[in-house]
Structure 1
Amino acid sequence: MRTARIASAFTEPERPKGLQIRFITVGGSYVDVTGAGHDSDKHRWDCHGCKDTSRFPEKDYLFSIREKANEHAGLCRAIPLT
C-alpha cells in the first residue's frame, strides 16, 4: 500500500529547545509542543502561522497539551509569513 506524503510549500522553522512534538496545520504552518518531557507538567504549544499559543503556557502535561495542539493544527488556516 502506498501512502501519500503531504508536503508544505513553506520552509520548516528552526526546531526550538525542548521540542516534543511538531504538527503541521491545514494552512501549511507548524504547531510546536515544547517542554521538559513526558513526566513534566510544564508544556506549551505555539503556532507559527497565527501566533496563537496555549492559554496557560507551561502549565500542562504532555498528554493533555498534545490533544490541544493537534486540535489547533486541524483548524488553523494561517500561513507562515516568514
Structure 2
Amino acid sequence: MSTAVRATAFTEPDRPKNLQIRFLTTGGSYVDVTGHGEHAENNRWNCLGCGESSNLPEQDLLFRIRPKANTHATACRAIPLN
C-alpha cells in the first residue's frame, strides 16, 4: 500500500486574496500563507485540512512564517473534507 499522496486526488480550493505561498500537505490538503509579502508584518498561515493556523494571534514576517507553514504541511495528514 502506497502512502504517497497524488496532487490530483483533490480539487485545489480557490486562492485567497494576498496568497503568498501554498503548500501541499501530506494528507492532500493545503497550507496557505497569506499577507502582504516579504517586508510586511501581516503574514500568517492557515491549514485548510485540520484548521490549525499561526501559533500567535499576531502576524509575522514572511521569512518567519514560511518554515513554520512548511513544517506543518509536512506533518499534517488531514484530508480535505470538501
TM-score of the aligned structures, taking structure 2 as reference length: 0.88
Matched AA of 2:7: A
Give 1:16's aligned residue.
16
In structure 1, the gaps of 5 or more residues are 1-5
State the SS of the aligned residue for 1:20.
strand
Question: What is the CA deviation profile of residues 36-73 of structure 1, one whole-angstrom value per residue up to 9, with x for unaligned ones?
Answer: 11100111000010011112245210001000000000
SS at match of 2:22: strand
What is the CA-CA distance between 1:26 and the residue it aligns to?
Answer: 0.3
Q: Provide the C-alpha distance between the structure 2 equivalents of 1:46 and 1:57, rounded to a whole number of angstroms.
A: 12
Identity across aligned pairs (percent)?
Answer: 64
User: In the comparison of the two structures, how many residue pairs are matched?
Assistant: 77
Q: Who is 2:43 aligned against?
A: 43
Superposed CA RMSD = 1.1
2-structure distance, mates of 1:35, 1:57: 14
Q: Which residue of 1 aligns with 2:68?
A: 68
- What SS does the aligned partner of 1:51 have? coil
4+ aligned runs moved over 3 Å, structure 1:
none
